[in-house]
Structure 1
Amino acid sequence: ERLIASGRVTVNGVTIRHQGLCIDPSAQQIAVDGRLLSPQSKVYLVLHKPRNVVCTARDPQARRTFQALLPEALRERVYSVGRLDRDSEGLLLVTNDGDLAHALMHPRHNIAKTYLVWTKRRLSAREEQLLRAGIRSRGEHLELDLLERQQDAYRVGLHTGRNRQIRRMFAAVGVGITRLQRVAVGPLQLGTLRAGDWRYLAARELKALWDAVGHQQAVSAHQKSAKPKCAQREALASRR
């Protein structure tokens, strides 16, 4: 608001002094202090996060972050949708689309996350029963949506996503986890993507994610068309 009120924002060379003016970044030139702004393309990637990589953009302990695994040519500022702890691996959705990220993480949409869990030993029938009933840990009631025994691992599903939830639940019944891999977020699958590799989402995958949160969006695999925005929001975004 202060940028606009002080006359520092222009649209097509004309100084804007009142709030709420709607503009189309794809058709109009917006500048702050004479610096031309350009609408940022929406980017959607799937990254197979390996172990010993953290999901923060910068780490005070100088540990390797997921950003180091992204393509060097990527100019957009992106972030992960949700997190995996340092010891876990698997599917990480990376984007700069805040609307999609917020929708996927909002509890009302109940987006399921699916994991493969390898353990130090098999769960007993009683331990499986306890996990399916839910575990009380640190004042929280933790539940699983899915617990299936597979050949050498367990397939686990949940939608709540508490901090280290699966590890805490298995530890509560006395079973240690040796490996934990996220293989799906809603309809999005990790597939055969190797650890440390990334790929762009296909258009059908992006549509499936929007469908999962109940929205209809016209998008391509790599970007979403810019929509008219208010000059106030555009100016503020340039200063973040």
Structure 2
Amino acid sequence: MGERRPYPGRRPDGDERPSRRADGRPSRRTDERPARSDERPARRAESSVAPATHRTGAPQRIAKLLARAGVGSRRDIERMIEEGRIAVSGTVLTSPALNLTSLAAVTVDGNPVAVTSATRLYRFYKPTGCLTTARDPKGRATIYDLLPKDLPRLVTIGRLDMNTEGLLLLTNDGELKRAMELPANALVRRYRVRVFGNVNARSLEALAEGVTIEGVRYGSINADIEHKSGAYAWLVINITEGKNREVRKVMEHIGLQVARLIRVGYGPFELEDLPVRGVEQVPDDLVSRLRSRLPAK
């Protein structure tokens, strides 16, 4: 078993016992160790399973159909088309400007696309030391090396950099991914961050007005001091944009060095008592409720 770290949502008074789920039900989870480098799982998009029956209907853009099938977000799929990885009836696509009624003749990396029957959403405690990507040219460990092999093809909702740990949401529905990532939907990402340096309350309060760093504008950030001890402090930070390495860049901008960064919440979902590398499926009714509130734009 991997090392069990203290629950990252602990209170400053030292009580590290996590709160239970609101409905009182025990969590179903797995706690897998990474596979050896010679046992890396195949990319989820490269399914060798024959496609299930494809429903037909009104023509839709191929990117939207593939996103609904869990291949990736629309942006991911457009990039895959540019790379020549998607074909229809054996003809490699060069443009996403194509409407289809089904995915029956579509292949990704030469493999048929299996239809996903229902949207699934999972909570995963990403540890440090692995990448949030399907594959890495340098052969470094990715989250897919840690996930149980019996899970369906999944894409991540947002990313966490290699040295950031905590809640990572995964889904088989690219449209849900897109809706949850859209800044317009303003889903709050919650972090606990341990910093080193002179924590200035006024500097933290000023982040509520947003900040521009090297020409990049970061929107309103809510930052509070949770606990302070000597030169170190734990902060609680809420953001809604989730730009690349946003928390780390903003902390550095105000003179603080990040020692540990943990995402503890994303929208209505919390890390709770999920162990490091643990995976838990979100109940279907919660997913349906979320989708009804998040129309893709």
Q: Same fold (TM over 0.5)?
A: yes
The residue aligned with 2:46 is none
Name the residue aligned to 1:210. 291
Computing the radius of gyration from Cα coordinates, the structure with the larger value is: 1
Distance change >3 Å, CA 212–CA 36, structure 1 → 2: closer
State the secondary structure of the residue aligned to 2:89: helix
CA distance in 2, matches of 1:32, 1:79: 19
Q: 1:173 to 1:77 in 2, by over 3 A?
A: same
1:84-163 matched pairs, under 5 angstroms: 84-121=160-197, 123-151=199-227, 153-163=234-244
Percent identity of equivalent pairs: 28
Q: Which moved more, 1:138-147 or 1:109-118?
A: 138-147
Structure 1 unaligned regions, length at least 5: 6-18, 216-240
**Per-residue Cα deviation, 1:3-39 (whole angstroms, up to 9, x for no partner):** 399xxxxxxxxxxxxx98857x9xxxx6789x99753
Give 3-state SS (helix, strand or coil) of 2:158's partner.
coil
**Alignment-mate amino acid for residue 89 of structure 2:** L
Change (3 A) 1:162 1:38: closer
The superposition leaves residues 182-229 of structure 1 with CA deviations (integer Å, 9 ceiling, x where unpaired) of 1111101111101111111112431343244158xxxxxxxxxxxxxx
Q: Summarize the alignment of residues 1-240 of structure 1 with structure 2, pairs less than 5 Å apart.
A: 3=89, 39-41=115-117, 42-74=119-151, 76-121=152-197, 123-151=199-227, 153-214=234-295
Residue 288 of structure 2 aligns to a residue whose secondary structure is helix
Give the gaps of 5 or more residues in structure 2.
Answer: 1-86, 92-97, 229-233
- The number of aligned residues is 195
**Cα gap change, 1:138 to 1:39, in 2 (>3 Å):** same
Contact persistence 2:155–2:174 (CA under 8 A): no
On the 8 A contact 1:79/1:95 being kept in 2, the answer is: yes
Conserved? CA contact 1:187–1:212, under 8 Å: no
TM-score between the two structures when normalised by the length of structure 2: 0.58
Structure 1 residues 211 and 126: alpha-carbon distance in aligned structure 2, compared to 1, 3 A threshold? same
Mapped partners of 1:53, 1:85: distance in 2: 8
Amino acid at match of 1:57: A
Is the 8 Å Cα contact of residues 123 and 281 (structure 2) preserved in structure 1? yes
> What TM-score do the two structures reach when normalised by structure 1?
0.71
